[in-house]
Structure 1
Amino acid sequence: MEALFQGKLDNFCAFYAVLNAMQRTHGLNHWEARKLFHAGLISFSQDIEHWEEIVCNRTDYIEEVQTFLNVIKKEGTPVHYTRPFPDGKASIAEVLNVIREWSPINKDKGVTLYDQSEGKAVVLQFKRFLPFRGAPLISHWTAVKEYAGAEVQFLDSSLEKSATYALPENGFCTCEKEVKQGRLFLINPATIYLLDSNP
């Protein structure tokens, strides 16, 4: 299965992340994803000020992901979601436990990720920092492909050469004050969405 790839000039990675996650939960194909993507963009464009915030990357996209999931439901695709840490407070272990529980792969169940995933997926945002810099270099939404071995692997929308396709379980933190040399990635627990096609 190939990830749906984001356009180089847009800021829509949060929406691509949702659609990539739905390849796990619903076996979504490219045509179905395009239809839902367009429906989401049309819905957001109805509020010009909010649309400008989205296009110009002046939001954290947490609420926008929820709105997009609601648009998808209105379009007739049953997807259920929860946010396990809406207040943004969770330890690294708690985040890893949720990801482990919601990204199992059972290779005995078929050859596609959809067959193997049992209707569950994780969407999240990570931020990448540089040493001794305040602001993050990258803020990026992605879908978890699988938690295998000692790393979280992503089903990612990026085609950038420097894209991050996996994070070691000891290579990120969940609170900005914990960012330090050797642990320059942050997963804000508030950005974690758990998708399920089987309520």
Structure 2
Amino acid sequence: METAEEDFEDLEKLQFLCTQGVDKTGRRILRIVGKHLPAPVVDTMRLKEFIQHKVSKELGSDQFCIVYFHTKVANKDNNPGILNLRWLYESLSKNAKERLQVVYFVHPGLLSRTIMGTLGRFFLSEGLYHKLVYVSRLEFLWDYLKQGQVEVPDFVLDHDKELEHRPLMDYWIESDPLDAYGVAGGPSRRGASWAP
């Protein structure tokens, strides 16, 4: 019979979910890289078991936070959906939900912010909805944790640099040129970003 680690070996290799460092208040960090999550092909029950395994095995009884990199998430490739997000949160033990203090949502798209701000009140549990902190740039993430506490993928750094040179992208007045020319995986999906 396989151990739990062997059961999740393929998910571990994707590196979309791992524990790294602590935030400025000493809470452990659970890092999620949305672009690396192949949501359409991962069984939701298996994903739930994997998350529960990571939280119980690697975080123990510590308080923790989540740093979620939403950068370059595309609806058809890596979007678990708002209802699955709620279901995954609700499937955590009561103790784990209480220990989860905050979710830093890095590089939220226009659609995700709009849906989370409107429908999120209805589709997310109150506990999760009030734990969300939107972080539009990495410089603002460092208000909550020290640099070096979490590994930032290169594509996230590149996107953040682009925001520095094209500030209108922050307000969705100007589209991401990489998306517009298919560099990030096809025609622009900025308006179709994952709405958690």
Whose helix fraction is larger, Structure 1's or Structure 2's?
A: 2
Structure with larger RCO (C-alpha < 8 A, sep 6+): 1
Question: TM-score, length-normalised on structure 2?
Answer: 0.30
